[in-house]
Amino acid sequence: MKIRLAAPLQPDSIVDGEGIRVVLWTQGCSHHCKGCHNQETWDFKGGYLVDLEEIKEELNSIQGQDGITLSGGDPLFQVDACLEIVKYCKKINLNVWCYTGYTFEQLLALNNPKIIEFLNYVDVLVDGKFILEQRSLDLKFKGSENQRVIDVQNSLKENKVILVEKYKDKKNYDFKKKTAVYL
Ligand code: SF4
């Protein structure tokens, strides 16, 4: 199986999640958020194809990482390939963060068994589109106030969004009221 990437694996990132992380930059995104920093990753025919076996070999050879972060682009558009990658990452003891333009609720509503299976291997999901008007440089690991740093395994267990306690901001986003609210 192959995956379409925007860039080579990027080890030693300290800004794409907790600890030292290798980042997988997937190619392809149809969310088209205004102000997106990675517009070159939107084209589903852009980037280049890589065999998953090559990615696994490379992951194996990169030392000193706490986890992997799937970003892009939106990894969820290539869920089959991403599922294989996160399964492998768990085998080699890398924790898994994933960025997506979908909200957690939207992902569940897609009713796609592959997405649910994928989420079962994800520790932390940073969800939601980037909203330029809600951009803040004070936020940890996210770009705009609507986005959430979600504890995926507890959220799946409790059937509601549970945020990672230490990355909760004073403000969070109420999706029903479409506004930031103070916790
Ligand atoms: S989801 Fe991410 S990559 Fe896609 S348009 Fe929005 S900010 Fe850009």
**Which CATH number characterizes residue 61's domain?**
3.20.20.70
Ligand 1 lined by 9 (C-beta under 6 Å): no
Phi-psi region of 135 (alpha: psi -120 to 50; beta: other; left: phi over 0): beta
Atom of ligand 1 nearest to the CA of 100: 1
Ligand 1 lined by 36 (C-beta under 6 Å): yes
Q: What is the DSSP letter of 70?
A: E
Strand partners, 171: 182
Per-residue pLDDT of 67-125, as tens digits, reads 999 999 999 999 999 999 999 999 999 999 999 999 999 999 999 999 999 999 999 99
Provide the pLDDT confidence category of residue 64 given band limits of 50, 70 and 90: very high
Count of domains for the chain: 1
Q: What is the Å distance from ligand 1's center to 77 Cα?
A: 12
pLDDT at residue number 182: 58
pLDDT at residue number 46: 98
Q: Are strands 67-71 and 2-5 parallel, antiparallel or unpaired?
A: unpaired
Q: Which segments of 42-178 are extended strands (E)?
A: 48-51, 67-71, 95-99, 124-127, 148-151, 171-174
Q: What is the Å distance from ligand 1's center to 146 Cα?
A: 13
> pLDDT exceeding 90 applies to what percent of the chain?
89
In which domain, by residue range, is 12 found? 2-182
